[in-house]
């Protein structure tokens, strides 16, 4: 029996804004099994990013329970949460978030710093991962010397360099043209084929349709969960 990657039960997240409570998630229950391929769709402001942050251990729920890799997030210290993010989760941000003055190779190697791995080994592993995402020829480029698609692939390589079992991608193709977007998706799907569970947020129905399962969000709730249509 395998532990589900994620089990969320009645998870809420309420932001405090100038004394007002803004409920971004109002009771979300969700299970992600190892090797799942999940797409989250929904209107802007429906709480997709908020949910992704929770699933990635970047944030804690206001209510409900959230288990990541079988561990209750509420009971974890900041250090344990950092360790969790580092070891089991890869996060791809919509806006890449690469370090500007740092080469592609060192951006990719960044998570390994916090594993206490030496620079030589970090660079070797980062280079291998860049090769994997088709950027072997861009190893020492800085973000401003890379195209948007290349930057996104660097960000994906960074999410993968630690060998996570769960990859979370918040609109990974949102800023890219459709051809580049497709090549990124192909990359994600090949990873999924190797057993990495993938949760991705998208606005694109076509993209969502390729997943094993689609989840539709509205006003902080999951309103529909449908199996994918693609093969």
Partner 1 sequence: MRVAEAWRVALDALRANRMRSLLTMLGVVIGVAAVVALVAIGTGTKQQIERQVEGLGSNLLIVVPGRLEAGAAPTSSPLTLDDADAVSRVVGDRSRVAVTIASGETVRAGSRSGFASMQGVLETTPTVFVRELNRGAYLTRTDVSTGRRVAVLGAGVARTLFGDRDPIGRQITIGGVRFRVIGAFEPLGQSLGVDRDNEVHVPVTAAQRLLGTDRIDGLAIRAPDRDRIDQLGRDVVATLADRHPDTDFSAVTQEQILGVLGDILGVLTGVLAAIAGISLLVGGVGVSNIMLVSVRERTREIGLRKAVGARPRDIGVQFLLEAVLLTTTGGVLGMLLGAGTALLVDGLSPVPAALTWWSMALAFGVSAGVGIIFGVVPAQRAGRLDPVVALRTE
Ligand X SMILES: Nc1ncnc2c1ncn2[C@@H]1O[C@H](COP(=O)(O)OP(=O)(O)OP(=O)(O)O)[C@@H](O)[C@H]1O
Binding residues (CB under 5 A) for Mg ion: these are 49
**DSSP β-bridge partners for residue 25:** 13
Cβ-proximal residues to 218 (8 Å cutoff; 6+ apart), any chain: 42, 43, 46
Residue whose entry in the numeric block shows the structure tokens 């190892």: 34
φ, ψ for residue 57, nearest 5 deg: 70, 20
List contacts with ligand X (CB under 6 A): 15, 17, 22, 24, 42, 44-50
Residue 87 touches which member of Mg ion, ligand X, partner 1, none, C-beta under 5-8 Å by kind: partner 1
* Nearest residue to Mg ion on Cβ basis: 49
Element (H, E) at 37: strand 37-42
Min separation Cβ 17 and ligand X, Å: 4
Applying CB under 8 A, does 139 fall inside the site for partner 1?
A: no
Min separation Cβ 12 and ligand X, Å: 12
If we measure between CA atoms, which residue out of 177, 176, 136, 128 comes closest to residue 152? 176
Segment interacting with partner 1, rule: CB under 8 A, options 4-12, 32-40, 91-99, 219-227: 91-99
CA distance 146 to 165: 28
Among 26, 53, 182, 213, binds partner 1 (CB under 8 A): 53
Applying CB under 8 A, does 45 fall inside the site for partner 1?
A: no
CA distance 52 to 32: 12
Which residues are at the interface with partner 1 (CB under 8 A)?
A: 53, 56, 58-59, 78-79, 82-83, 85-87, 91, 93, 97, 99, 101, 110-111, 113-119, 158, 162
């Amino acid at each position: 029996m395998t532990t589900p990657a994620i089990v969320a039960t009645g998870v809420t997240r309420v932001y405090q804004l100038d004394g007002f409570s803004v409920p971004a998630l109002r009771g979300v229950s969700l299970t992600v099994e190892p090797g799942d391929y999940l797409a989250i769709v929904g209107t802007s402001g429906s709480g997709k990013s908020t949910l992704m942050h929770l699933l990635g251990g970047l944030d804690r729920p206001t209510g409900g329970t959230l288990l990541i890799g079988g561990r209750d997030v509420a009971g974890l210290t900041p250090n344990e949460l950092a360790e969790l993010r580092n070891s089991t989760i890869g996060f791809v941000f919509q806006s890449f978030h690469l370090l500007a003055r740092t080469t592609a190779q060192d951006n990719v190697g960044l998570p390994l710093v916090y594993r206490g791995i030496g620079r030589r080994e970090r660079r070797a592993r980062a280079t291998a991962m860049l090769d994997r995402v088709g950027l072997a020829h861009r190893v020492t480029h800085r973000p401003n010397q890379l195209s948007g698609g290349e930057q996104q692939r660097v960000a994906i390589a960074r999410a993968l360099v630690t060998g996570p079992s769960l990859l979370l991608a918040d609109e990974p193709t949102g800023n890219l043209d459709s051809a580049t977007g497709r090549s990124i998706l192909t990359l994600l799907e090949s990873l999924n084929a190797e057993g990495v569970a993938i949760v991705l947020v998208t606005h694109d129905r076509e993209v969502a349709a390729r997943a094993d399962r689609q989840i539709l969000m509205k006003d902080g709730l999951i309103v529909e969960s449908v199996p994918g249509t693609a093969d």
